[in-house]
Structure 1
Amino acid sequence: MRADAQQNHERLLEAAARAFARDASEASLKDIAKDAGVGIGTLYRRFPTREMLVEATYRNETTKLADAATELLEKLEPVQALRTWMDQFVDYVATKHGMADSLKAVLDGAGDLRMDSRKLLSDAIAVLLQAGITKGALRNDVTAEDVMMGLGGITLIAGDDRALAGRLSDLLVAGLRS
C-alpha cells in the first residue's frame, strides 16, 4: 500500500473508532470520511460495506490495545502499566459497544475473529501480570483469564460511568497485589 493510502486507511480507522464510540449505530460514514480528511469515495474504496469498516476498526482497536501492554511496560512500573491498560480496555469496550449491532453480524460470521481477539487481549494481560509477578508486586495465582473476566464485569456494571469503572478497576488491581 502506498504511504498516503496507508495514512488514509489509518485515519479512517481512527475516525471510525471515535464515531462508533460517540454515535454508536448512528455513526455516519460520510462524517467518518470527513473526520479522517478523505472523501466518501475513499472510504468506500477501502471499505465497501459498513460491516467491513466495523470489522477493520474492531481488529485495529484490538491490536492497538494488545500492543499497548508492552508499550506501557517500557514507560511505567508493572502495576501502573496494568492499571493504565485497564483504562484503555474500558475505552476499547466503549468503542465496541458503539459498533454492537454491526459487530454482532461480523462476529456471528467469524467466530475466529472473536477467539483471535480474546487471545490477543489475554496475552497482553499475561505480559502485564508476568512483569508484576517478576517485580514481586502482583500475586502469582491469578490468570490472565481471571483478570479479563473481572474487566468484563467492570465494563458491564459501569456502563458509561467512567468514574465507577475507574474505582472498580482500582479494586481489581488492589486484589491483584501481592
Structure 2
Amino acid sequence: MTEEPRRRRADARRNVDALLEAARTVFATSGVDAPAKEITDLAGVGVGTLYRHFPQRSDLVKAVVEAGIDAVADAGPQLSAAHPPVEALHLWAQRFAELLATKRGLASALHSGGAAFAGLPGYFVARLGPALAALLDAGRADGSIRDDVVADEVLHAITALCRPIPGHEPHYHQRIVAVFIDGLRRT
C-alpha cells in the first residue's frame, strides 16, 4: 500500500512560494551564495522556515530552477489558447530564453556535480519538451510552421543560442531567438 503525500497547509505553501520568489530574486542579484537571511528577509519569514522546507542550499537552488522550468512549460497551453500558433511559439521561446538568462547565474551551482542536481536535465526535457511539441504541432496543423523540426532540436538550438556571450546582455539572446523562431515559419 502506497501512502499519498501529505498536503501542505495553505500557510506553508505560501511560505514556500515566498521563499522561492525571494530566492530567485536574490540569486539573480547576489548569487546563489547570498546569505540565507537576505532571502528570508525578502520572503518575510524566519531562517528556521527556510531550513524546514529547504534543508540544504542545493534543495533551494533546485527548487528555484524547477519552478522556472514549470512556469515556462505551463505557459505553453495558455499562450496557445490566446494566440495564433506562430505567435504563441514566439512568445513561449522568449520566456524560455528569459529562463535561460536567469539560470545563467545558477550555472556554476547546477554544474557542481551535486547529487541534488542530477535529475535536472531530465526534468528540463520532460517538462519543456511536451509543451514545445504541442506548440510546434499547432503550427504544423495550420501550416504556419515547417514540419521538419522536432521539439528536442528546437530546445537544444534555443539553449545554444542563449549561451553567455561576453559584452552582450540577455535581451541580445532574445533577439537572436526571435530570428531563429522566424526561421521556423513555413515559407
Deviation of 1:108 after TM superposition, in Å, equals: 5.1
Matches within 5 A, 1:72-151: 72-105=79-112, 110-151=117-158
Would you say 1:19 and 2:26 are equivalent positions? yes
Structure 1 residues 107 and 128: CA distance shift in structure 2, 3 A = farther
Rounded Cα–Cα distance in structure 2 between residues aligned with 1:44 and 1:24: 18
Note if contact 1:133-1:140 (Cα within 8 Å) is conserved in structure 2: yes
**What is the DSSP-based 3-state SS (H/G/I as helix, E as strand, rest coil) of the residue aligned with 1:136?**
coil
Deviation string, structure 1 residues 11-37 (Cα, Å, up to 9, x no partner) = 111221222222223433211111112
CA contact (8 A) 1:72 1:85 kept: yes
Equivalent position of 1:60 in the other structure: 67
What does residue 5 of structure 2 align with?
Answer: none
- Mapped to 2, the partners of 1:95 and 1:147 lie a distance apart of 19
Question: Quick one: structure 1 residues 106 and 74, their matched pair in 2 at CA, closer, same or farther if it must change by over 3 Å?
Answer: farther
1:101–1:170 CA distance, 2 compared to 1 (3 A) = closer
1:153 positional shift: 1.7
Per the alignment, residue 180 of structure 2 pairs with 172
Larger radius of gyration: 2
Query: SS in structure 1 opposite 2:181?
Result: helix
In structure 2, do the counterparts of structure 1 residues 64 and 47 end up closer, same or farther at CA, with 3 Å as the change threshold?
same
Give, in angstroms, the shift of residue 102 of structure 1.
2.4
Write out per-residue CA displacement over residues 88-107 of structure 1, whole angstroms, 9 at most, x where no aligned residue: 11221123222223222466
Distance in 2 (alpha carbons) for counterparts of 1:166 and 1:56: 24
1-side partners of 2:114 and 2:155: how far apart?
19
Structure 2 counterpart of 1:5: 12
Q: Which residues in structure 2 correspond to 1:9-48 (within 5 Å)?
A: 9-48=16-55
Paired residue type of 1:30: K
> Distance in 2 between the 1:14 and 1:118 partners?
23
**TM-score normalised by structure 1 residue count:** 0.89
Q: Return 5+ residue gaps in structure 1 as ranges.
A: none
AA of the residue aligned to 1:171: V
The CA deviation string for residues 71-116 of structure 1, in whole angstroms up to 9 with x for no partner, is 1112222211111111211221123222223222466555333212
Overall identity of the aligned pairs, in %: 36
TM-score by length of 2: 0.85
Q: Residue type of the partner of 2:105? A: G
What's the offset of the Cα at 1:5? 0.6
Cα–Cα, structure 1 residues 98 and 72, in superposed 2: closer, same or farther, change >3 Å? same
